[in-house]
Amino acid sequence: MTQTWFITGSSRGFGRALTEAALEAGDQVVATARKPEQLDALVRRYGDAVLPVALDVTDRAAAVAAVEAAVARFGRLDVVVNNAGYANVAPVETADEEDFRRQFETNFWGVYNVSTAALPVLKAQGAGTMVQFSSIGGRVGGTPGLGSYQAAKFAVDGFTRVLEAETAPLGIRYLVVEPAGFATDWAGSSMEIADIPAEYSATVGELVRNFEQMGSAAGDPQRAAEILVRVVKRENLPSHLLLGALAVEMAQNYSRAQLEEAATWQEVSASADFGRAYPVELPVD
């Protein structure tokens, strides 16, 4: 069955690759971008199967209007993909507050705006899938210089888990995508790097130096997009999909460390309840 996709940030990167993969699979796509003229090549190639729509995801009214335009054209929504996002680099302490907030507006509130705009449609259908782009940093965190970006990605994961619990009886499915490094312009032209004070050279500065030296990332956006199209068409979805070998390695190492820490502090943690032995010895320091 032909599916209708609604994809944010379709002009480049993951969004562009996913738009093309869905169209190549014979599906229809509502491709959104701040500048929809950047989607003209897609319209020339795929014709009526693609509907370009102007959308700034930070604009709640625009998100509602984009969803309405999608339904008016195709009659339904089967897959809603919250992909639009970007990151700028700065230490939390010295980051420009307005820039920090703008990143969060796009990376979290954009997901909120589109998700809540699409929910009434998916509820009425009794079916549909939401694909929320996080990152491996949204699981393990701790990347110096990416305070706003990673905070937003953690928030997207928590938000999506609540949505899934709330809408469990309504036929709506959710998939959180957690990529590692991919050959997009995420760390290129779309990223701004602030001045880094000397005391943050060993942490935030090191991240920037790694970006400059890494060359092309290991991840292939086209492969990832094709994988996502195949996964979404399955009856059973994973709750989270890691993309890239590095993402798998980082997630597994993080989970092992979390389990080990929980086991180490288990007796101390449990002693906080009424009726438990108290006090207990702290782990060896």
- In DSSP notation, 210-245 reads HHHHH-S-SB-HHHHHHHHHHHHTSSS--SEEEESH
Question: Is the separation of the CB atoms in 134 and 157 below 8 Å?
Answer: yes
137 domain residue, yes or no: yes
> What pLDDT is recorded for position 215?
59
236 domain residue, yes or no: yes
131 domain residue, yes or no: yes
Q: Is the pLDDT of residue 137 over 80?
A: yes
Residue 263, both tokens: 């086991």
Cα distance between residue 81 and residue 27, in whole Å: 14
CATH number at residue 48: 3.40.50.720
Pair type for strands 172-179 and 50-54: unpaired
Cα maximum dimension of the chain? 71
> What pLDDT is recorded for position 187?
65
> Helical H runs in 96-244?
97-104, 110-125, 137-140, 147-166, 206-214, 221-232
Among 73-87, 182-196, 269-283, the minimum mean pLDDT is found in: 182-196
Question: Is the separation of the CB atoms in 243 and 182 below 8 Å?
Answer: yes
Average pLDDT over residues 50-64: 98
Question: Is the separation of the CB atoms in 262 and 243 below 8 Å?
Answer: no
Average pLDDT over residues 9-28: 96
Average pLDDT over residues 240-255: 97
Single out the residue of 24, 117, 34 nearest to residue 77, CA to CA. 117
207 domain residue, yes or no: yes
Per the structure, the complete domain to which residue 199 belongs is given by: 4-243
| Active-site entry in 112, 135, 149, 200 | 149
Provide CB contacts within 8 A for 105, sequence distance 6+: 58
* Total number of residues shown for the chain: 285
- 134 catalytic? Reply is yes
| Active-site entry in 134, 135, 148, 200 | 134
pTM, two decimals, is: 0.95
104 domain residue, yes or no: yes
Cα distance between residue 200 and residue 65, in whole Å: 43
| pLDDT digits 0-9 by tens, 191-240 | 899 999 999 999 999 999 888 766 567 889 999 999 999 999 999 999 99
- 35 catalytic? Reply is no
201 domain residue, yes or no: yes
253 domain residue, yes or no: no
34 domain residue, yes or no: yes
Cα distance between residue 241 and residue 247, in whole Å: 10
Among 1-5, 56-60, 183-187, 235-239, the minimum mean pLDDT is found in: 183-187
> What pLDDT is recorded for position 193?
92
Q: Is the pLDDT of residue 27 over 80?
A: yes
Mean pLDDT taken over the chain: 95
143 CA to centre of own chain = 16
- 86 catalytic? Reply is no
> What pLDDT is recorded for position 51?
98
> 68's torsion region: left (phi>0), alpha (psi -120 to 50) or beta?
alpha
**Helix, strand or coil, per DSSP, at residue 30:** strand
Domains held by the chain: number: 1
Question: Is the separation of the CB atoms in 43 and 20 below 8 Å?
Answer: no
Pair type for strands 172-179 and 240-243: parallel
| Active-site entry in 11, 115, 148, 153 | 153
**Helix, strand or coil, per DSSP, at residue 6:** strand
Residue 157, both tokens: 């994961």
> What pLDDT is recorded for position 249?
97
